[in-house]
Each structure stands twice: as structure tokens, then as C-alpha cells.
């Protein structure tokens, strides 16, 4: 399956082909050189606020709903994707199971920000600065 920018897909069918975790925003299929990133409005209730900047960078919040975020699991996979030879493929929810392909991304930088966790406690979250491969 080759993804086409702007085209919509059913998330379950993506996982049927590539594997990876079927829930959450960061999916790391073991047998394919890709990392699947999912974003959408539903994450905002957990303090995730993703989106484009005026400079064309996509700000993507790391994973972890309680306490300070750390570079474990999906967060480490994003940080180390170039070193590990993995492509970042970004999708946005446009329906319950429907995602739109936004494109292949590359990590430019990351920062820590303050944000509440699921219990309302302030914590450090990792915000990744992603740039579209097409713009390089």
C-alpha cells in the first residue's frame, strides 16, 4: 500500500497490512520500516494539541497521558526514526475510523512544554516539530 496525500483510508485496513498498535497516536509496526502517526480532535481532551504552524511545521504531541513524557516507546521511535531507518507517515482523523493521509514527515526538532495530564496535573509534554519530506 502506497499512501497518497489527501486520500482517506480506514485505519483498521492500514493495520491489517502493516501491523502496529491499533489504538493511540503512535503506531510502530515491527516488520515494516515505518512509524504511523495519527492526529485528531479527540486527543485534545487529553492535552494533545497538534497542528500546522505558519512556517509549515507540524507540531505533534508525544504519547503518555500521565506524568512527564519521556523518550520511551513511540516517543523514542519518533526521535530516532532517521537513525533507525523508519519513515514517519502522518494521518489525521476525519471520521470515526477514517483517516486522511497528510504525508511523509521528518523530525526537525522537539521541545518540552507544560500541559495538564488526564488528572489535570501539570507536567512536561514532548512536542515534536515535523516537516513534510515533500518540502525538503
**What digits encode the pLDDT tens for the residues 32-74?**
999 999 998 866 665 668 999 999 999 999 998 889 999 999 9
Picking from 27, 5, 25, 26, the residue whose alpha carbon sits closest to that of residue 15 is: 27
Distance between CA atoms of residues 105 and 135, nearest Å: 9
Q: What is the pLDDT of residue 43?
A: 61
Q: What is the pLDDT of residue 48?
A: 66
Q: Is the pLDDT of residue 12 over 90?
A: yes
Q: Is the pLDDT of residue 5 over 80?
A: yes
**What digits encode the pLDDT tens for the residues 78-135?**
999 999 999 999 999 999 899 999 999 999 999 999 988 888 899 999 999 999 998 8
Amino acid at each position: 500500500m502506497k499512501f497518497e496525500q489527501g486520500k482517506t483510508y480506514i485505519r483498521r485496513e492500514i493495520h491489517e497490512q502493516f501491523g502496529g498498535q491499533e489504538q493511540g497516536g503512535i503506531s510502530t509496526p515491527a516488520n515494516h520500516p515505518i512509524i504511523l502517526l495519527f492526529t485528531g480532535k479527540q486527543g485534545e481532551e487529553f492535552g494533545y494539541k497538534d497542528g500546522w504552524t505558519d512556517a509549515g511545521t507540524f507540531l505533534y504531541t508525544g504519547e503518555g497521558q500521565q506524568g512527564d513524557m519521556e523518550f520511551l516507546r513511540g516517543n523514542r521511535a519518533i526521535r530516532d526514526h532517521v537513525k533507525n531507518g523508519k519513515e514517519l507517515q502522518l494521518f489525521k482523523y476525519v471520521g470515526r475510523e477514517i483517516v486522511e493521509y497528510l504525508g511523509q514527515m521528518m523530525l526537525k526538532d522537539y521541545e518540552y512544554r507544560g500541559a495538564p495530564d488526564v488528572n489535570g496535573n501539570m507536567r512536561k509534554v514532548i512536542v515534536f516539530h515535523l516537516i513534510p519530506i515533500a518540502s525538503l
